[in-house]
A = this chain, B = another copy of it.
Amino acid sequence: MRDRNPYSATILIYCEDKQGIIASVTDFIQEHDGNIIYLDQYVDTEENTFFMRIEWELENFIISTDKIDTLFKEGLAKKFKMNYRLYFSDEKLRMAVFVSKLPHCLFDILARTQSGEWPVEIPLIISNHEDLRPVAEKFGIDYHCFPVNPDNKKEQEEKEIALLKEKQIDFIVLARYMQVLTDDFIKQYPENIINIHHSFLPAFPGAKPYHSAYKRGVKIIGATSHYVTAELDEGPIIEQDVARVTHNDSVKDLIRKGRDLEKIVLSRAILSHFKRKTLVYKNRTIVFS
């Protein structure tokens, strides 16, 4: 199934929890000869909210691809007042990468796309510094430098947005981009901007978390990937991981160990995102298996 990679459709749903949702959705697919290849659901009982991810093969599905959305919207979505998103497996998402000076996450992302590990396109890299232009050139990707300062930030972001729209970017990855984006920018890509923060959030938000971690004498460090929201380092968490440290590790050692964490955690979050495994609800991220 997973190994066959058939042409398939995926629906991500959330709505008020009621009896009969699962039966109705699976009936809808089954009656039209769709073969379900993934189903996971979750109920937040405090919020009385139902969440579901369902994927089915389109090979024998008797509704044509361009009609599925309308039929689902008019039928089940209306009946259960669902919020939903429909995806098809042949889409290839277009990702923009924002960087500053540190190359490790960028290298990791580029290696995964160019080796075919990820079916994702990277039409451009944006930075506030020139430092990583050689890396972009090595991989043959357009590199745009928009130096940012408090005075020109709004203006520069507008240029960036124009470029992102022109290049039809689907989602943005902040790969150790050391700038805070404005709310106006964030609103252009809701739940489509992924950041990596170099600490185990909510511990050590903000600047220089490894220095803070050293000073606090923690025995474990972490990295956190999350969707960017208006509140700095407060967005819904997608993925976290940790590494053990000792008193013997200097700040420099923490930074070195942290680099590996950051790139792996960020890459796992990107994978969950483009495989349509994530659903954000009230600042928490449901990450389907």
* Residues in A lying within 8 Å of B, measured CB to CB: 1-4, 19-20, 22-23, 26-27, 29-30, 33, 35-37, 39-43, 45, 103-104, 107-108, 111, 115, 117, 138-139, 200-204, 216-220, 222, 236-242, 244, 246-248, 250-253, 256, 259-260, 264, 267, 283-287, 289
Contact = CB atoms under 8 A, between A and B. Distances in A.
B217 A236 contact: yes
Given A104-B115, A217-B283, 11 more contacts: A2-B253, A26-B26, A27-B27, A40-B40, A103-B115, A111-B111, A138-B138, A200-B220, A201-B216, A201-B218, A219-B240
A264 B243 CA distance: 12
When all copies of this chain in the complex are counted, the total is 4
A3 B242 contact: no
Nearest to A18: B35
Contacts of A252: 2-3
Contacts of A103: 111, 115
Given A111-B103, A115-B103, A285 B247 contact: yes
B42 A248 contact: yes
Given A2-B252, A2-B253, A241-B220, A19 B40 contact: no
5 contacts: A103-B115, A138-B138, A202-B203, A247-B284, A260-B267
A45 B250 contact: yes
Nearest to A44: B247
A194 to B, nearest CB: 14
A267 B4 CA distance: 32
A216 B240 CA distance: 13
A236 B216 CA distance: 8
A33 B20 CA distance: 9
A73 B42 CA distance: 28
Contacts of A239: 219
Contacts of A238: 219
B248 A289 contact: yes
Among A4, A202, A236, max chain B CB count under 10 A is at A202
A246 B20 contact: no
Contact of A251 (B3, B22, B40, B256): B3
A218 B247 contact: no
A203 to B, nearest CB: 4
